[in-house]
């Protein structure tokens, strides 16, 4: 069964608090599991919230501030201990290679971890699988930092009965999908949209840490689910900008501008005890937002209805 949901493992910025662990976000996407920005303590949060090392297909790091990556050292050892049978892909800015190298060998362990490290130098598509493509764009955080986007391609679902009625079967269906038209045995031309329904691909973006910038909007353009930092309330906007961060209001404005369907705010500064003001600030701008708490499971919004032909 296909399951697509976000498991929130940690939501603190900079330092953990009694209520919030360092960052950690696990995106369950059918058979894949993408773990973003594992901060300190991620291994234990995974146990709390039902994420196994074996379920991780990809590890992704936006930048090398400790709250976004210190969990990598222990995760590698856990992947090894559990003898995860597949190679876990690791995506990170190449400028942080020395940090990856150190954390990869942070202490003594029987190292049988299989990692497929995929450092990247700049923006663009990082990986295409049969199910999704992963891309990165540079953010504005003072240190090199990239946001990520996961995009499922649009697909055509051919109605086999409708196609057969028009005389299109077997290899002709493939031709129809690949070229948009196929010729029926009676010589008539059949268009794909006459016998198939277009299913729009779902998408996800992860924007963290950054000031407001055009790339944050581009990453989030039209996504179903956006995880975005909102370290501060807007009353502390000056401090947010000085430190390379967003406010809840700005995060919601980015989501609105980008046409995001569901918005998850996180990376909350330890100075705030209550999150209601974050929700109030963002909900005034975007109708579907969640202020993440550790352990939250956030589903994707229902798939969009196919556009009428
Ligand atoms: Zn940072």
> Cα–Cα distances in Å, from 184 out to 168, 179, 188, 197, 217?
6, 14, 5, 19, 45
Count of the separate structural domains present in the chain:
2
DSSP-derived secondary structure letter, 236 = G
Q: Are 173 and 157 in contact (CB under 8 A)?
A: no
Among 196, 225, 251, residue at a domain's last position: 196
How crowded is the C-beta side of 5, counted as CA atoms within 13 Å?
A: 14
CA of 297 to the centre of ligand 1 (A): 24
Does residue 111 lie within any of the structural domains?
yes
Q: Which of 67, 209, 224, 294 is catalytic?
A: 67
- Give the distance (Å) from ligand 1 centre to CA of residue 23: 11
Q: Do 178 and 205 share a domain, yes or no?
A: no
End-to-end alpha carbon distance in the chain: 29
pLDDT at 308: 54
Assigned domain for 307 exists: no
Mean pLDDT within 119-145: 96
The CATH number assigned to the domain holding 251 equals 3.60.15.10
Catalytic annotation present for 67: yes
For residue 244, the CA-to-ligand 1 centroid distance in Å is: 8
Q: How far is the CA of 148 from the centre of ligand 1 (A)?
A: 15
Spatial contact of 58 and 150, defined as CB atoms under 8 Å apart? no
The pLDDT tens digits of the residues spanning 162-182 come to 999 999 988 888 899 889 999
CB atoms within 5 A of ion ligand 1 belong to: 65, 209
Domain-located, residue 309: no
Concatenated DSSP letters of 32-88: EEEEE---TTHHHHHHHTT--GGG-SEEE-S--SGGGTTHHHHHHHHHHHTT-SSPE
Phi/psi at 225 (nearest 5 deg)?
Answer: -140, 125
Any domain includes 308: no
> Smallest Cα–Cα separation from 196: which of 159, 246, 231?
159
- pLDDT given at position 38: 98
Residue 163 shares a structural domain with residue 266: no
Is residue 100 domain-shared with residue 176, that is, in the same domain?
A: no
176 Cα–ligand 1 center, Å: 48
Q: DSSP 3-state assignment of 206?
A: strand
Range of the domain at 263: 4-154+200-299
Q: pTM for the complete prediction? A: 0.92
Dihedral in degrees, nearest 10, Cα atoms 232, 236, 240, 246: 50
Task: Round to whole Å and give the CA distance between 303 and 174.
Answer: 25
Within a domain: residue 306? no
What's the pLDDT at 83? Answer: 97
Confidence bin at 1 (pLDDT 50/70/90): low
Q: How confident is the prediction for the chain on average, in pLDDT?
A: 94
Report the alpha-carbon distance of residue 254 to residue 220 in Å, rounded: 8
Q: Which of 178, 196, 214 is the last residue of a domain?
A: 196
Cβ atoms of 284 and 297 closer than 8 Å: no
| pLDDT (tens digit per residue) in 239-275 | 999 999 999 999 999 999 999 999 999 999 998 988 9
Calculate what percentage of the chain has a pLDDT beyond 90. Answer: 86
Both tokens assigned to 157: 């679902």
């Amino acid at each position: 069964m296909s399951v697509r949901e976000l498991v929130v493992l940690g939501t603190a910025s900079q330092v953990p608090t009694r209520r919030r662990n360092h960052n950690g976000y696990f995106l369950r996407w059918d058979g894949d599991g993408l773990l973003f920005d594992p901060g300190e303590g991620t291994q234990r949060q995974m146990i709390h919230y039902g994420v196994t090392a074996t379920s991780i297909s990809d590890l992704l790091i936006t930048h090398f501030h400790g709250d976004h990556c210190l969990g990598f050292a222990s995760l590698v050892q856990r992947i090894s201990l559990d003898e995860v049978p597949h190679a876990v892909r690791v995506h990170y800015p190449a400028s942080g290679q020395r940090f990856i190298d150190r954390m990869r060998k942070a202490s003594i362990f029987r190292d049988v971890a299989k990692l497929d490290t995929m450092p990247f130098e700049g923006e663009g598509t990082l990986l295409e699988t049969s199910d999704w493509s992963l891309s990165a764009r540079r953010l504005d955080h003072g240190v090199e930092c990239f946001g990520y986007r996961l995009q499922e391609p649009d697909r055509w679902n051919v109605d086999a009965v409708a196609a057969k009625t028009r005389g299109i079967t077997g290899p002709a269906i493939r031709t129809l999908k690949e070229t948009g038209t196929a010729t029926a045995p009676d010589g008539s031309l059949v268009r794909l949209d006459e016998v198939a329904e277009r299913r729009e691909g779902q998408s996800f973006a992860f924007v963290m840490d950054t000031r407001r910038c055009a790339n944050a909007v581009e990453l989030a353009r039209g996504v179903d689910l956006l995880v975005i930092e909102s370290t501060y309330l807007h009353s502390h906007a000056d401090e947010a900008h000085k430190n390379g961060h967003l406010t809840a209001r700005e995060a919601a404005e980015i989501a609105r501008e980008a046409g995001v369907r569901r918005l998850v705010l996180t990376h909350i500064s330890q100075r705030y005890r209550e999150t209601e003001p974050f929700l109030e600030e963002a909900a005034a701008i975007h109708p579907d937002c969640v202020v993440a708490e550790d352990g939250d499971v956030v589903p994707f919004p229902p798939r969009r209805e196919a556009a009428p032909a």
